[in-house]
Structure 1
């Protein structure tokens, strides 16, 4: 099987490639403009550390996914495309809305239109976000929860989902959508374009014994999933193409963790002396996130294996080595 991964040098991409290399008879073509490596210069783990010939099954095309054409995809005879490439910061999306619109939505639309022209017709797996749901009407949030995006980022992800599903609804093209709830782990940027995600930011500050800043009272919650659990779901979807065709899946733990609780966990696990400071809440921040993954569990037999404490211990240990 030949799998093309967009965003291959990113946080998700590096772990997904690592997971795909453990699969037998899978050849991986990464597509990434490597812009992220200027910000956070880490490469996929097995590609760097491999001593058993695995890396011979991985190659990276240094290009923007928006430049993929049907001819290029057919030239590699791709069986599956996992589309991870995306801008992912909620606050940045409010400051740079056109950049998010052009890459996340228009870029995905262009990719979809090229896929229609291919001869090999690769299975498309699109990485979406629970941000498409907006503030919850009920929790846990299943895939039928109304979508009421509150940020430009969320709106672009929902629109991109729709463009992907049009392929399926109109042309019966093989598509699956995965809504990843908040994911953390090794190789996640602690500087992302000036807008780092909460876990790597808290961990970095804790290791340096710096003040940890929380927007609002810290009672807002997130469903925090360790990245190796997350990429395992992508491999499941890829391997269960018939079951996944035309489906939308949630992946998460089904457990809410408060932001203040998260900060205290990180301080404790890292042995930090950091203090916590509360700042003004952000308008686009969601109050709660909790995934209902019952459909994913039933159809794909997927469940997360790592607890929040286990995942944080691994991640903190990795960041300590990085920051030495």
Structure 2
């Protein structure tokens, strides 16, 4: 895998915020497997306890139940930490349109709390989750850093503000920050339930249960779906990046482009199902097409994603087949 040979100084200690979530728990697992110490922080507002419990017996792991909106908690979490991987946030474009105040509080104030705590604690690198949604209505493909359009949702705005704070914290305070603009991440442990669930796990679960999934719009929208392993690689490589790379945001994707209707048909084939989808209205705030230029991350972070969409979807389907039973009751 793209990160198994990455090395950090002996005794390095990582903080993963949002560690009970999909991306956070995968980061915790990868870092523990590399043999380093990890502290997790989560308040379970969207994360799951079972994602934390699997690591409790590992002597290199400790967990703090707490909220990034409480600065004292952020200070406690950053104590003695070398690298912060800040994943805690509320996702979902449609939900942010319904709850803008909450998104301001968690995604902007919470991130600022974490940056400030990291600065005061002398953290070496602060890597944080941004989003492809910052490109807004910029029509050109592939999406390239520095060519952003008008924002289309409060969620996108919160991520743009986080990037601006990241830039300032590097420039004003010498905290090395690295923003990772994730493009449609999918893979094991991604929640298939709830009205705001991501499309791939939701489709897989519904098809396995013999239900007809709902496709928003005509299914002709395209996305740069990115398997979780590539995201782990990007986070760890950012922790090892040169100081000149700090203060910037980077596209983190595979660099491909999949149409939703094609993915649906691919899932049908893989699962041996014959189910017609339902088509619903296009979602407010959604971008029609998304595809990333990843050359900046390749050049500055040494990011070389190894997992194609095909490899990732195969692994994801396998995981959901084996774990859907345990997910349903949680």
**TM-score in terms of structure 1 length:** 0.90
- 2:147 match: secondary structure: coil
Q: Residues of 2 paired with 1:263 and 1:41: CA distance?
A: 30
Q: Residues of 1 paired with 2:298 and 2:114: CA distance?
A: 29
Superposed CA offset, 1:20-66 (max 9, x none): 12334x211101113335xx554159627x8xxxx211111011122
Q: Residues of 1 paired with 2:290 and 2:228: CA distance?
A: 17
Which moves more between the two structures, 300-309 or 290-299?
300-309
Superposed CA offset, 1:61-114 (max 9, x none): 01112224375256x311111110000011111111111111111211232333
Q: Is the 8 A contact 1:212 1:263 kept in 2?
A: no
Q: Is the 8 A contact 1:205 1:274 kept in 2?
A: no
Q: Residues of 2 paired with 1:147 and 1:161: CA distance?
A: 15
Does 1:13 find its partner at 2:24?
yes
- 1:143 match: secondary structure: coil
Please list every run of 5 or more consecutive structure 2 residues that lacks an aligned counterpart in the other structure: 1-11, 326-330
Q: 1:322 to 1:11 in 2, by over 3 A?
A: same
Equivalent in 72, 77, 83 of residue 80 of structure 2: 77
Q: Is the 8 A contact 1:19 1:235 kept in 2?
A: no
Q: Residues of 2 paired with 1:119 and 1:318: CA distance?
A: 38
Alpha-carbon distance, 1:162 to partner: 1.2
**TM-score in terms of structure 2 length:** 0.89
Equivalent in 187, 191, 196 of residue 193 of structure 2: 191
Q: Residues of 1 paired with 2:165 and 2:247: CA distance?
A: 13
Q: Is the 8 A contact 2:17 2:85 kept in 1?
A: yes
Alpha-carbon distance, 1:307 to partner: 2.0
Aligned partner of 2:257 in structure 1 is: 256
Equivalent in 94, 102, 124 of residue 99 of structure 1: 102
Equivalent in 60, 63, 71 of residue 63 of structure 2: 60
Alpha-carbon distance, 1:149 to partner: 1.5
Aligned partner of 1:172 in structure 2 is: 174
Which moves more between the two structures, 300-309 or 93-102?
300-309
Alpha-carbon distance, 1:259 to partner: 1.0
Q: Residues of 2 paired with 1:36 and 1:286: CA distance?
A: 24
Q: Residues of 2 paired with 1:176 and 1:305: CA distance?
A: 21
Q: Is the 8 A contact 1:18 1:45 kept in 2?
A: no
Alpha-carbon distance, 1:243 to partner: 4.8
- 2:51 match: secondary structure: coil
Does 1:3 find its partner at 2:14?
yes
Superposed CA offset, 1:209-239 (max 9, x none): 2112111111111000110111111011112
Q: 1:71 to 1:203 in 2, by over 3 A?
A: closer
Q: Is the 8 A contact 1:140 1:291 kept in 2?
A: yes
Q: Residues of 1 paired with 2:304 and 2:240: CA distance?
A: 16
Aligned length: 313
Output the aligned Cα RMSD: 2.0
Alpha-carbon distance, 1:299 to partner: 2.5
Does 1:33 find its partner at 2:37?
no
Alpha-carbon distance, 1:241 to partner: 4.6
